[in-house]
Structure 1
């Protein structure tokens, strides 16, 4: 379904989708209210949503559209989703699967069509992963001193849900690597601060891990932990190529924290495409740490958590609410 107040944009998007031969346009709407009516009659898998629309904006309507769409994935396609735009981060926190900057009608050509279809393909890619682990806790419970969270597509909404549910009494530092453009970093940290009620900062060189604080990787560097010699660590920034090609990448964060905190580390993998976090999870397990991943049902894309679970590295496969409960209980089932 395409929801955009511009007739030109609706026609162009519809043509791109239909000409791919991979998707069928189930409906086109000029407003969010029209979309809500149509969704009562039509089932869709994907919804392309503009932000700037008269009467009700795409952001204001997003929660209602997600409920009405019954599991459909929402891709924001809007000029307001430009790099650095607070609207894009807000949409992702509200539950949008991904964002894409919509160019002007004159430049909405083949290159944009290829990018759009790549986004849709990624969101609909089937994940046939056998999971050799039950939801039951599979190891003795060790308390942890640091929480490291990795995420990508769909991860901001899951991360926000997790952090919002953790009470202030849980004071372990939390380190986050979320695949995002560099220009999103400040807005992302502000969004996390608002959602969690904790101070969230973008990591810089030699950022010390402090109780009660959340630190997020900048969009142009990995965070890599270095021991301070007293059982704690500081974060350094690295731009060495990761095997997955991601920058920032989850793997170096997991691996470096595992080398310092060992069994005192909890590593969490949330929704995301690809396999980033898999190698790092292996090193967390080898060091005696704990690995928890988001379940398939609640993930927008079960690529990253599914890869870890599929290799038998997850001690538990949980929903975001359950992950929050686990963190709150400090690793005790």
Structure 2
């Protein structure tokens, strides 16, 4: 007899049809138990306090009391991992406000024809619920180190490449705020995120720093003092420009752990371009993406780092990278900026 406790889930969604669809998706896994449903954020808070679910799945936009209200109230009253579902346009930054307030992660809303072929569509809700149930809600609220670090003299490195997944938007925001405004090398980031949100995320990051943040375009020259985000429609690679410098290009080549954007893909190509003159960083996230990339950087003589367990929302990617020897050091996210600057 299996006495293992099932993961209890509360759905907060104003559409009856979507509640049925989500219920069908969750019921496909015997390890998950749906304990209740609510129609808006306020009702969601009331039911959560009553039912104590392990995970909440909530729509972002609902009448009167939305997903942002739910996240804000729950993090005050009873911190529980909250997965948000969004059909918002790419210009809308509400999702990132909710992540900043403490939401665990977000997904594009499932399409209504999904129930016929959940596995075929590879909709990741089940996996995300399981990871959320084991996650550290406290890690979402790690305070950033507000001291702006600075450096003088010649640099030991020519580029920093960062990879992140679940919990990454908050970790990247934290890191970006710590970087000096006179940073004299580029930072290239691959964040696992639906394509439609990456442009919005770049704009948000750009508002948090004096450094210019943008989504990388094909054939673009990588410039010092700039921060580039990999787009979500292809995998980003770097190569040397025959006329000098480093340029970007996209590939449809598939990678084992994750695609569009693949952290391994970006780091592999960066290692070839920068050799021992680069730093690779893997932040919070589920899975193993980034480990092969860090191994390539390490092989070339570069520095490899990963976020520590205490500050990771999901200590999956960093743990695998460190356990395999790909990451040489574990660093708390609130100290990552200072650590990087000290290495330069």
Q: How does 1:42-191 map to 2 (within 5 A)?
A: 42-70=51-79, 72-78=80-86, 80-81=87-88, 84=90, 86-87=92-93, 90=96, 93-94=99-100, 95-103=103-111, 107=113, 109-111=115-117, 118-125=124-131, 143-191=156-204
- 1:21 Cα offset (Å): 2.5
The answer to whether 1:196 aligns with 2:209 is yes
Determine which of 262, 265, 268 is the counterpart of 2:278. Answer: 265
Tell me if structure 2 keeps the 8 A contact 1:81–1:101: no
- 1:9 Cα offset (Å): 3.9
- Contiguous gaps of at least 5 residues in structure 2: 1-9, 135-154
> Hey, what's the Cα distance between the residues in 1 that align with 2:98 and 2:264?
23
Tell me if structure 2 keeps the 8 A contact 1:270–1:293: yes
Q: What does the per-residue CA deviation read over 1:257-302, in whole Å, with 9 as the maximum and x for residues that have no partner?
A: 2223233211111222322211111111111111111223433433
> Hey, what's the Cα distance between the residues in 1 that align with 2:124 and 2:198?
24
Q: What does the per-residue CA deviation read over 1:93-144, in whole Å, with 9 as the maximum and x for residues that have no partner?
A: 434413131446xx573446986984232442599xxxxxxxxxxxxxx843
Q: CA RMSD in A?
A: 3.2
The answer to whether 1:299 aligns with 2:312 is yes
Q: Which moved more, 1:285-294 or 1:269-278?
A: 269-278
- Contiguous gaps of at least 5 residues in structure 1: 128-141
Aligned to 1:25: 34
Aligned to 1:2: 11
Tell me if structure 2 keeps the 8 A contact 1:98–1:154: no
Tell me if structure 2 keeps the 8 A contact 1:81–1:99: no
> Hey, what's the Cα distance between the residues in 1 that align with 2:123 and 2:243?
50
Aligned to 1:280: 293
Q: Which moved more, 1:239-248 or 1:250-259?
A: 239-248
Aligned to 2:336: 323
- 1:215 Cα offset (Å): 0.9
Q: What does the per-residue CA deviation read over 1:29-79, in whole Å, with 9 as the maximum and x for residues that have no partner?
A: 333223334444553321111112222321344344345442x3322134x
Determine which of 233, 249, 274 is the counterpart of 2:262. Answer: 249
Tell me if structure 1 keeps the 8 A contact 2:93–2:200: no
- 1:176 Cα offset (Å): 0.9
**Residues 56 and 232 of structure 1, relative CA distance in 2, 3 Å threshold:** same
Determine which of 226, 243, 251 is the counterpart of 1:213. Answer: 226
Give TM-score, length-normalised by structure 1.
Answer: 0.79
Q: Which has the higher contact order (CA 8 A, sep 6+)?
A: 1
Give TM-score, length-normalised by structure 2.
Answer: 0.77
